[in-house]
Structure 1
Amino acid sequence: MRAKGDRIRQLAYCPVSQDLHGEKVHVAFECPDCGFPTHASEQRWREDPNHGRYWPRLREANEDEHDLRSGRELTEFRLPGEQPYEEAVSFGNWDVFLYTRGFPSIETERARRHVSKLLTYPITIGSVLHENSPYTLRNQRLLPEGLRSLMALRRTLHPPEKEGAAKAGLPPAPLRIFVLGARAESSLPSHVLAQLSHLFPSIPLHLVFIGPEAYIPAPAPTRSTFSSSPSPSSSADDSAAAAAASSSVYGVPSHTRIEHDGRLTVTSLRCNYSDVHDVLGPFDPYQDVFFAFSPGFGFPDELDPTKTQLETNWSAAVKSLLETKCALFCTGFSPADIERDVVALDKADGIAGEFDWLVTPGDNVFGSEKWEVAEFDPRVAVKTNWGVWGIRGKRYEVRGAQPDEVDA
């Protein structure tokens, strides 16, 4: 917490000094209402007419962080195991989901915020794909093309009891879930990711995290049987060998682990998606689905602010995804973030007009309920995975020529 406060003091500027006095001064005064450094001095803090609008959420975020470090037993983090076959899971909201999944009783709003932050990534995926999804044609979040794509995936995730492969004694093929631009979600512990596998007990899942910031655990140090103190050169050789071994399968730094008795495979690829698209193919809309958590399509490019990230860094990847005809579901951390991404989709060359909407942009039922405070400006606070939407490459139906067209 102190380190975060120091980073805010280094990055954030006093809003009153900038707006009322024309001075660019870093924050230094710690607000007595919320505990965050918010202004250059106590005088500037008192001059701020808008402080009352944002200090309550800053205080809530501060208290949540202190509660996590208080040393109390966090019973809300006792995650349940497999779902009994005869008990259905409801995805109406966090409360109903936690109850039907058999979580310990969540008695406070703070405990629910903790759980929602921990589980927002796997349960967002599960809530979109599951047959009991809260996104339906009836509430107009799911569109007809979305139903077509999800029916294909659900045919794999919820196979009939007497399926051909099962009758032949063959193991089911895993459904691959690609998470693009992976960051924090790739570092989640295995027992948290297993909550996704528990929702689909009939089929093995393969989670593939792809991104320059994807988490890859450090290789375990190797010990020589001939020397108790390895030389620096041997340590360097071991690291190089480990890196080479991790790159041998996909051609990029990678790590794969198998969890949950083989029903969940987790792979991390530290690279851009375009680097491994051809290696991961071919793709099947029945077996493959893509997710991107807060991809930032609509943010300006760092090198060319006149263009969006979708037109530069994401362009090749999104065009490749649309060609696969597999579903792509994305999230955003606020209404403005989602609006930026949607506008970018409608303006990008080679992407605009080349996709069908599957899920309309709107609230994510399983977004995090915990405020995340921006270090560059404490007034800015967002909620992870606030909203969700989905698209797929446009399908062009081939029809036979009519007799009158042939005669003409």
Structure 2
Amino acid sequence: MDAFTDVHGTAEDGWEPVRTAFAQNFTRRGDAGAAFALYRHGRKVVDLWGGAASAGEPSGKPWAEDTVQIVRSATKGVAAACLLLLHQRGQLDLDAPVGAYWSEFKAHGKERVTVRDVLAHRAGVPALDTPLTPEQALDGTTGPRAVAAQKPQFPPGAAHGYHAHTYGWLVAELVLRASGRTVGRFVAEEIARPLGLDLWVGLPPGQAHRVGGTAETVTPEPAVSGALRARPKRSVQDAYADPESLTMRAFGAISPRPDENDPAYRAGELPAANGITDARSLARFYAALIGELTDGPRLFVPATLTAARTVESEGPDRVLIVNTRFGLGYMLHGPASPLLAPGSFGHPGRGGCLGFADPASGIGFGYVTNAMQKNVTADPRAQALVRAVRECLR
């Protein structure tokens, strides 16, 4: 089989290994439909797509140049930019208590939680005692109200744990309180429109026909024994196997799991989980965080960029179990979330998607896929592309 079968788009001279890696994701690593784009020093150098627009339907509609895809937690990097832009404009103080903007959040000893803690996953509320239904999660009020009323699961500020879903309600409410706009409107007006991105948190009806369908490509987790429940969690696999673990409670803050192919879910505003975009927009977004685009503005001034990628939380993650590293809303390069180089920052999406920037090399990276595999970070398809980019930079 031709290594480039079913791959469309362009890779400039010198970036051929990236095209090869992208093609091999289909032939060797189980991709169904996907796209990849790369910016270097503000200019697009790779723009590829291929496969089927809906995972599980290889004979259906092909992935087109304008296909967009839900990117799960890769949305968190876009959400972080909203708070950082508000800080950059003097509308939000990162070191102010969340309660200064949102008085209801002070309940149960959370009065000292800062905006910085929220972005660094130190707020102490990664899970809810009572999970929300998908309808409640999407209504714009029940989620923030539940997080505000939640008793912390670990001392706020003293440890960190990945806020898989609650991060979105925290960020959304802070954006609303500081700007008077919903997070979806803020993204549209302050990020997507100035940069010319196909990027939404809350999909407009007129764009629904462009979204590819997602599908899980993994088997269900095995049932857990009582002995496993009782022992300390030594790995994320242990934690995933125990429905009572903080890990599963954090990822299960919305229950049952929402149907990502449901138009109502796609139209809602969940800045931790349901952003919809394409690879070129994700790469362009990250390129704009670190410098001027050849045809667009820069988003972060140097001081904001430095703050975004400075280590805020590092070490054992109460939710992901492994050691993680976070800046202000962004995962930082490390063993748990390998990016391009030590200075890289960005965010993966559970199941495969990945967006990040590397200031030293001027890289903005975007990979989206509809074949959701059993990975929170370090997806093998995304990592194959990272390795290929690294090879091209040598």
TM range (shorter): under 0.3
- TM-score, normalised with respect to structure 2: 0.25
**Higher RCO structure, 1 or 2 (CA under 8 Å, sep 6+):** 2
